[in-house]
Structures are given as C-alpha cells and as structure tokens.
Structure 1
C-alpha cells in the first residue's frame, strides 16, 4: 500500500507571529508569512531522491497535479461529469506532475503568475455578540484581499524580479443584504442586561442616500519581493514605479477573470433566471 500511495503534505496558511507591526494569525493579508506554505510530494516509486524548487505554486494546482500523478485525464473526466452536471469547467490550476516527475523543465513555469484571494472574516456573522455578552465591531473595511504574484524584467539589465501586488476591497457579496446594503449595529454594554442604552447602527450601500455610507475605498500594496523580501516598503502609488503598478493591476484583472469563476446564469425549472454571486469589478 505504501508504494501505491502518494503522500502530499501541505498547509492551508502560515502564521504572522508578530511580523509587520505585531500581526498574528493569518487574516486580511497576503504577506509572505501567511501565504508561503509547504507543498511536499512523496512516493518511493515515482520520486527518487530529494528535490526542491522556488517556482510559484498555488493551492489551485493541487487537484490537477493529483490527477496527473494518478494518470487521469481531466478532459475525459470532465466529459463524464457533464453527463450528470449542468456546468463543468476546466480546473484553473496547473498540472505540475510533469515537473515533479522530471519530464518538464522548471523554466516552463517561470513566467506563470499566481492569483490569491481571501474573503475570510471570522468577526462577521449572524450576530456580533461575544461569549461575554457584549457586541463588537468587525475588522475595518476594506478587508477582502486579492493578490497577484508575478515576475517582471525590472532588475539590472532586464533581470527578472518577483513582485507582489495586493488589492484590499470591501466585497458587497458579504454584506448583510449582498450587493445592496450592509447594516451593522453596536450596542454598548452587556446585550442581555436590563436597562436602556443607545445603539449605534451604520447602513452602508452601493449607492448611499442620506444617512448612509458608501463602500470603503480600495487600498493597495505593491512590493518588489526580490529586493524587499520582508515586504517592508510599499511601492503602491509611488510615481517611480507607476509602470510596474499598471502592469500588475492589469495582470491582477486578467488573473481574476481567468480564475475567480462563478456559475453561469441558467434558468430554473420555472423559467426564472438564477442569480450570480457578486463578481469583483476590475480595479
């Protein structure tokens, strides 16, 4: 059984451990401490010796690579699934099995960009009441993140350097009324304690009217990771690097379009149209 088993060791996220000014856990960022995780493959028959690489990889590459190592054809599997499912898409990740088996050179993947996104917000749910019985406010917006990591010829004599570009945005899909408005109420003191208190309610809308607020504006980070591996100097909106920012912003839009996929509208049995989840606009 051991020789017929491919062991894959990965992690879902890293840990900040106080980096970047005292941050902990892994939420609301795309720093190296959070997104750099192990991806280790082992099988005594397929892999001889030990090899490592610095190519960019993604969790989205895992399933295509597993299929490739198992000798399964994604297109054939897709045709089978299409017999019983209304929509079947090609997997957005890459099949790295050829590289792992020594059949494809590392250079094949050198130019590939990686797209990362997270809308993970554990501080927002059906209610915002702690186990102590007090209300709390969610993490300040914008707190959804999408990032592109890519290589650009920006070094001396056109040398290739690694860049990271992150967009922080207020995603209306996760508002209390998705895509319409977000209502947050804060009550000082213990919620279940008798007595009067003044509650503060904030209403956010895509098209705010009197007494409402609009979405938080986008914020950006951009790092030359080759020159600044600790990601300490944010180059976003620095005129000296406007060309790089334009290139990376366009690449982020292209990566989102290719990889952040949602179901295609199809009619229900009664003829009404299904609604797509909110899709982030180009930045």
Structure 2
C-alpha cells in the first residue's frame, strides 16, 4: 500500500477549497500518513485513553499541526483509528468524533447568527465514523467484549444463503484468501475455530456495531438540520463486509461480491429545493461522489480543475457522474455501465508478521506459527462491470495478475509463505472470470461464465469492460512505479 502524496490527485477537500469553501474533516482518514508522533514513546500520539477520556493537550497539537492541509482539509484530530488498541476502536472514537463535530457546527452556526463574515462562508464538513469497522476486532472481542447487553442488540442474524458455497466455480483467489485470512491475526487454527464456534456472535456483533454508530450519526444530522436553513447531507460508506458469505469469506478483499461492494448512498437537501423521499435502484459508484457534491454546490468544474492543475500533477476529467438531477427527480440512467476495481493484497505486507507477532514485538522476524500465509499461487487483482443487457442486470468480474504490482515489480511475486519458507513465481497467471445474472441471482451464487448459452452476453460485457476501464482509469501524467516489498529480517524464535 502507498499513501497519496501531496500535490498529486486533488481530494474532495482540495476541490471545494479551490471553489472558495471552508473544509473540515474529522474521523477516519486513511489517505495519507497524518499521525503525529509521541516523543516519549515513538508511537502515534494518542488523544484519548482506552476508556475514551480525552487528552485536550494532544488534541490541540493535532489542530495546531493541521496535517491534512495539503489534502484540502482542516480540523482533523488523530491518530488514525486503526489497530487493536481499545482507545482506537470505533466504539470509543466515534462518540468523540461526534462531540467535536457537533461542537464545531454549533460554533459555526452561532457565529453565523451573529453576523461573523468568516462563518457565513459555505463549508464542506466530512464526518468519517469508524463503525462497523470494529468487526475486524472480533477474535479479541469474542474473548472479552467491551459491549454490554443492550436494547441495541439485534435479534439473531441468520447466516448468508451462500455461507456453504464450496467456491469451486469461482476464481481460485477466493478459496486461497479464505484459507489464509486467519493467519493475519495469529495462530490460524485457533483463530479459525473462534470464527466457526462463535459464528452467531460474529454476525450479531456486526449488526450491533451498526446500531452503535447510529447515535453519533444522528447527533451530527440533528446539529445540521436544527442549526442550518440550507444544507445538503450525504451518507455513504467505503465498503461492506462478507461476514461469512460465499463459503466463509470475511472482510472485503479478493472479490467484488455484492456484500463487499454495495453500500448506502443517501442524499437529502434541506431548505430551498428540499428533497422528498425516493428510492433509485440504478447502479452508481463512489466516483460519483465528487461530481455530485460539486454539482450540489454549483461549482464550476472546468474552471476549478484549471486552478487545481496549477499545483496538482494528476488532474483528470472526473470519471463519475453528477447525480443531483436524479436527486431532484430526473430519471436515472438504468443502462449506465459501472466499473469496479480492487487491487489490495492485504495479507502480503512487508514483514509477514501477524497481529499477535506485532503485539509481542517480533514484527521483523515472526516465527512460523505467527507468520502470515499469503493466498497461495493466485492473482490478487479484481475488476468488474455492472450493466444491463437485454433487460437484465449483469455483473462481469475479471481476476487478473499484474507484474507491475508484484512483490518485486516486473520480476517476481511471493506465491507462498507457509512452512518450508517463501516461494516466488515469475510467470503471469491466466485471467479467471465470474458472470452473474443479478436479476435472477442477486446473491451471486451461480457463476455463469462457462454457460454456453451466454456467448452474446460475455462478448458484450467484455467489450464494455475495456471501454469503461479506459475511461475510469486514465494514465498518470507522471508515472509512479511500485517499489519492491521490503525484505523481512532473519527470523528468530519466540517462546510463549
């Protein structure tokens, strides 16, 4: 993984600042490495403890440093809410994000009412909550959960209808990832048993985490609707979670299934031109967010792009669509092709150290039981297309190898990291495909790629995939090749 560098791709904040808006961000970021360092520990500077007690001095250090300024935002308070520490969980951090955001909104609206010229400027506010991301902590929380029984607890959540798939008709990467996933935490056998034996608790926790974040979300919504007479509110998410669907897959990697890729996209306007409730089922994409919000603000996209191009190297025509006409009642383009892509080989990393290995301080030389096993002998890149053909909605998915993102780009890829040591390959693997009739099979249980009656569908969708890919993923103005993975230090031994 590599962070976005300043001066490359302008963010939503850069676009709005260039258009004259104030821009404020609080919550999960994950776009650049913005954490400050605690000089006493050498670790990210914490702003609250495990119980959620805030350190005001540390908060002020983040506000003074303004680490997101190159990315078009102010107001961010770190550190990033990731890792196993309770103080960084969404359960602890989301209410704190809401506290700061609501306070910022109330101050802004009070100053507006007092006639403060700066406060009267339009603003873009991003409230980025963590949950339900805390589901990643399930192996630890299954032993000692911070959540007490509550009316927020859901009724028992049933397993997905595809939970017992054998995946033999799907790309090999999916079964390989399923087998390797547990090693990312620590001793794979013990972790897998936890997931299997406590599957009901696992599913229930995911839905409880949604309920937990509803409170912070509602507090921010009410602060806007009660304090402003004219605003556009947008609610969405970065990804979903498989939660054991499709043969026992977890999280969102190595696939483009509906559970991982379809998320809420809710837009409401208050004040002039207030919206009324309406549901649109046409496919959309995350790339629609920027043009839609710019459209809602009435921003001159071409003029603003010209301004941004003076200081950013990667200003390209926006690939998404402005959906505000649809929000205002126009019919959606139901035949529009939507492109999807993921290239995150999350288990490879630099050192092969599992979460338990890092906890014990052996990140550079993990012993075999604590070493991550990469998905063996498979490609890790997925791209797809959702589009209608002959009155039915289809999803085409291509699993492909790319030497440009190998462990040593263009040279070799780590293909195995289990007992017996690492093994590499330098051959490019063949593509593997999925084809789903989403109209007749919305749970994506039956891969129709090999169906001999669907030649016309395959040909049409493959042609569309090439065209939409070219439009969605432009060539960089300034190439930035991937670099090789760091070589782990010599392995040692850990007694425990």
Task: Give the TM-score of the pair, scaled to structure 1.
Answer: 0.79
- For the pair 1:168 / 2:399, whether they are aligned, the reply is yes
Give 2:372's match in structure 1, choosing from 136, 140, 149.
136
Richer in helix (by share): 2
Partner Cα distance (1:32, 1:275) in 2: 31
Q: Is the 8 A contact 1:82 1:88 kept in 2?
A: yes
Q: Which runs of 5+ in 2 are unaligned?
A: 1-226, 358-365, 484-496
Q: Deviations over 1:218-243 (max 9, x none)?
A: 11100111111111111102221122
2:394 alignment partner, SS class: strand
SS in 2 for 1:261: coil
Would the aligned equivalents of 1:164 and 1:225 in 2 still touch at CA under 8 Å? yes
Find 1:18's aligned residue among 244, 252, 260: 244
C-alpha displacement of 1:77? 0.8
Over 3 Å counting, the alpha-carbon distance change for 1:23 and 1:276 in structure 2 is closer
* Partners of 1:169 and 1:217 within 8 A in 2: yes
Distance 1:223 1:7 in 2: 33
Shift of 1:54: 0.3
Q: Measure the CA separation in 2 of the matches of 1:35 and 1:224.
A: 16
The structure 2 residue matched to 1:4, chosen from 222, 230, 246, is 230
Per-residue deviation at 1:137? Answer: 2.1
Deviations 1:19-58 (A, max 9, x none): 2222222111111111111001122123332111001100
The residue aligned with 2:298 is 71
Structural mapping, 1:85-100, within 5 Å: 85-100=312-327
Structure with more of its chain in strand, by fraction: 1
- Say how many residue pairs are matched: 243
Cα separation, 1, equivalents of 2:314 and 2:237: 29
The whole-number CA distance in structure 2 between the counterparts of 1:183 and 1:18 is 27
- Check if 1:252 corresponds to 2:465: yes
Supply the distance in 2 between the matched residues of 1:230 and 1:203 (Cα, whole angstroms): 35
Gaps of 5+ in 1: 154-159, 189-198, 206-213, 266-273, 279-283
The DSSP-based 3-state class of the residue aligned with 2:270 is coil
Q: How many angstroms does 1:86 deviate by? A: 4.2
Q: TM-score, normalised by structure 2?
A: 0.46
Aligned ranges for residues 1-283 of structure 1 at < 5 Å? 1-45=227-271, 46-102=273-329, 104-106=330-332, 109-130=333-354, 131-132=356-357, 133=366, 134-140=370-376, 141-153=378-390, 160-183=391-414, 186=417, 188=419, 199-205=420-426, 214-265=427-478
Alignment check: 8 A CA contact 1:143 1:168 kept? yes
